Amino acid sequence: MKIGIVGLGLIGGSLGLDLREQGHQIVGIARRPQTCQEALDRQVVHQAGSDYSLLTDADVVFVCTPIAAIEKTVAAMVPWLDEHTVVTDVGSVKAAIVTAATRHWPRFVGGHPMAGKTEVGLEAAEPGLFAERAYVLTPLEETPSGAVETVSTLVRELNAKLYECSPAIHDRAVAWISHLPVMVSSSLIQACLSESETTVAELAQALASSGFRDTSRVGGGPPELGMMMAHYNREALLTSLQAYRNQLDTVISLIQTENWTGVQQHLTQTQAARPKFVS
Ligand code: NAP
């Protein structure tokens, strides 16, 4: 297949490396000439440039730009697409993107590879990033089934674990396990900063170790990521934050009333449930 990749960063670059390895013809689109050159030097793509005309005859185009640019990127590409071209994206939220992009191009299939790392940019791209990781496709009822099958085939070639659901269900699920943790973790850091006694605050910072590293990691990430989650997945995030606040109120009440049996039950339940989410 001829595959276009628009946005040659961590995700776009990693897709290029794997799909090229599978024998596909890869064409990359980037805004900056040095990104195009780096993509050619690293053999991420066969051809690269900043002109959408490179996408002519593409069977599939992956839009791998930041979320805020996905819809306008799809709109800008349309004049260059053939009627058979399937367009997909990799954005971490789906409902807002899928509805808007499908208006521009009916053969649009929303996608979200649940793979990533702390670093971003083409230099962080690596082969095998998606292997054994979930990759969610979020077609609408009207999305042509052939388009979904085309993207599904490529996802299987990445050795990713394929899931399919509606955009709204996707956004509610990732609110629990991805977007809520960012807000919880950032609130944890803010709460620690509220310690007013300098001696205590400085000692806490000096003593912070693996437990704090684990629980504060996603709250210490790039602000743009949390902003994107809050902006594009507002409703689902608010629902999960309310549930989290209820849980905090419950724990506060149990401790205030010295209900140690209740605290014990709470912690026993969470210890038993955690493996449902992560092993
Ligand atoms: P990234 O490494 O920063 O790459 C983004 C790419 O998009 C860069 O090549 C950048 O080009 C280009 N770009 C930036 N702004 C643009 C604009 N306004 N118009 C056109 N191109 C633009 O980011 P990433 O981590 O690969 O994320 C890309 C997408 O993947 C996002 O939608 C994100 O939600 C999704 N995603 C990310 C992860 C993750 O863990 N990182 C995981 C799953 C999904 P320049 O070099 O010219 O700036």
Per-residue pLDDT of the chain (279 residues; tens, 9 = 90+): 999 999 999 999 999 999 999 999 999 999 999 999 999 999 999 999 999 999 999 999 999 999 999 999 999 999 999 999 999 999 999 999 999 999 999 999 999 999 988 788 999 999 999 999 999 999 999 999 999 999 999 999 999 999 999 999 999 999 999 999 999 999 999 999 999 999 999 999 999 999 999 999 999 988 988 999 999 999 999 999 999 999 999 999 999 999 999 999 999 999 999 999 998
- Across-strand partners of 63? 6, 89
| Ligand 1 site, residue 32, Cβ cutoff 6 A | yes
Which tokens is 223 given?
Answer: 């602000």
With a threshold of 0.85, does the pTM exceed it?
yes
Give me the pLDDT at residue 24, please. 98
| Ligand 1 site, residue 65, Cβ cutoff 6 A | yes
**Which residue lies with its CA nearest to atom 35 of ligand 1?**
91
**Which residue lies with its CA nearest to atom 18 of ligand 1?**
69
Residue with tokens 């083409």: 122
Q: Are 115 and 129 in contact (CB under 8 A)?
A: yes
Which tokens is 161 given?
Answer: 């674990």
Which atom of ligand 1 lies at the shortest distance from residue 65's CA? Answer: 7
Pairwise CA distance, residues 243 & 241, whole Å: 5
Pairwise CA distance, residues 108 & 87, whole Å: 5
| Ligand 1 site, residue 64, Cβ cutoff 6 A | yes
| Ligand 1 site, residue 240, Cβ cutoff 6 A | no
Give me the pLDDT at residue 51, please. 96
| Ligand 1 site, residue 229, Cβ cutoff 6 A | no
| Ligand 1 site, residue 49, Cβ cutoff 6 A | no
Mutate which of 11, 62, 112, 158 for ligand 1 pocket (most atoms within 8 A of beta carbon): 11
Which atom of ligand 1 lies at the shortest distance from residue 117's CA? Answer: 40
Give me the pLDDT at residue 93, please. 96
Give me the pLDDT at residue 116, please. 81
Pairwise CA distance, residues 266 & 264, whole Å: 5
Give me the pLDDT at residue 118, please. 77
Ligand 1 centre and the CA of 226: distance in Å? Answer: 15
Give me the pLDDT at residue 279, please. 85
Which atom of ligand 1 lies at the shortest distance from residue 68's CA? Answer: 18
CA dihedral sign, ordered 239, 243, 249, 253 = positive
Ligand 1 centre and the CA of 69: distance in Å? Answer: 9
Which residues 6+ apart lie within 8 Å of 236 measured at CB? 171, 172, 174, 175, 179
Pairwise CA distance, residues 204 & 195, whole Å: 9
Give me the pLDDT at residue 59, please. 98
Helix, strand and coil content of the chain, in percent to the nearest 5, comes to 60, 10, 30
**Which residue lies with its CA nearest to atom 20 of ligand 1?**
65
Q: Is 249 left (phi over 0), alpha (psi -120 to 50) or beta?
A: alpha
Give me the pLDDT at residue 225, please. 87
Mutate which of 18, 65, 136 for ligand 1 pocket (most atoms within 8 A of beta carbon): 65
Which atom of ligand 1 lies at the shortest distance from residue 228's CA? Answer: 34
